[in-house]
Homo-oligomer: A and B are copies of this chain.
């Protein structure tokens, strides 16, 4: 019942030519070998009639390329986060006729090495190492055996390895500019990190978002009216921090360092009898699934998971196609974090249509990830 696989030799035999001729004919390199058009057509015909499909395994053995990429994540494919990363990678890989070998390490370095070697042994063309949160990771030596790119992560040392990360600093700029554009000037306060360096331990996002915010405010000759850092970016901390802030100043706008903090801030503002956005504007980062559900819906700069995944595959493939990144600045590719305009900032037009479209279909258009602001979440 199960039809036997037909080999190139059989096709060649059926067409009455040698294997070499058949191989070149099917590879579209007939001219190269000066194979006559009739012979080429005969081979193609025989191949189609027999239902010939090249054996990718033996081709892989011979050529060294398996048309397969490994994707190793430190977290389960289960969170919306990892899911969208994988989705982007999947689509981009398919566009380039590659398949994805996927695995997760659950944070176990031992397992991570095992999975890397397992994939390398299977001849993957390259490896993508993805992290749930942006962080520095130790690159095992085994990774040097094949091209690799870090997704949402930096090498802890100065290894020559590509990184794809969200552009946190630029996101900070966008947040600050958005506030300025909507008429805010005095009374801009920070929840989550402060210019005095308070914030979560070793959080790259924290310092880069802050940098972006301050650079824009500084250029506009504006000082933050207040800031409360939080060691942990959860709603409870946002609530507490906002309470402390309100005891000292009367903000006109709150920049929360992520959406969860903003959820807490909403609560504190409500407790103080303040309305969003009429009394206080709120803007933040991440575009958590809840951000569009909460009332008033939260204006936030999104982590572009789909684009991150797609970009990782792109960068890897570019590397495979032989343009090894040599200049250090090309080593890290920063993906734009798109602004989701909603209701929580005073005086901004809320494009609910765009929001709906964004959660509908978020494919990367063409090869310009920076333009693809339609991340699905």
Contact = CB atoms under 8 A, between A and B. Distances in A.
Interface in A73-114: 76-80, 82-84, 86-87, 90, 94, 99-104
Interface residues of A, number: 45
Contacts of A87: 76-78, 104
B90 A104 contact: yes
A61 interface: yes
Contacts of A80: 78, 80
Interface in A51-74: 53-58, 60-61, 66-68
Interface string A118-134: 11111100000000000
A376 interface: yes
Contacts of A66: 57, 122
Contacts of A118: 56, 99
Contacts of A78: 80, 83-84, 86-87, 376
Contact of A83 (B58, B83, B119, B122): B83
A20 interface: no
A78 to B, nearest CB: 4
B57 A123 contact: yes
Q: Which of A58, A82, A102 has the most CB of B within 10 A?
A: A102
A224 to B, nearest CB: 35
B101 A99 contact: yes
Interface in A114-152: 115, 117-123, 144-146
Given A58-B61, A60-B57, A103-B99, A83 B79 contact: yes
Contacts of A76: 83, 87
Contacts of A68: 101, 122
A100 B99 contact: no
A324 to B, nearest CB: 12
Interface of A: 1-3, 5, 53-58, 60-61, 66-68, 76-80, 82-84, 86-87, 90, 94, 99-104, 115, 117-123, 144-146, 376
7 contacts: A3-B144, A78-B84, A87-B104, A99-B103, A99-B122, A101-B101, A101-B102
Given A57-B57, A77-B90, A79-B83, 11 more contacts: A2-B146, A55-B61, A56-B122, A57-B60, A58-B61, A60-B122, A61-B61, A68-B122, A77-B86, A78-B376, A100-B102
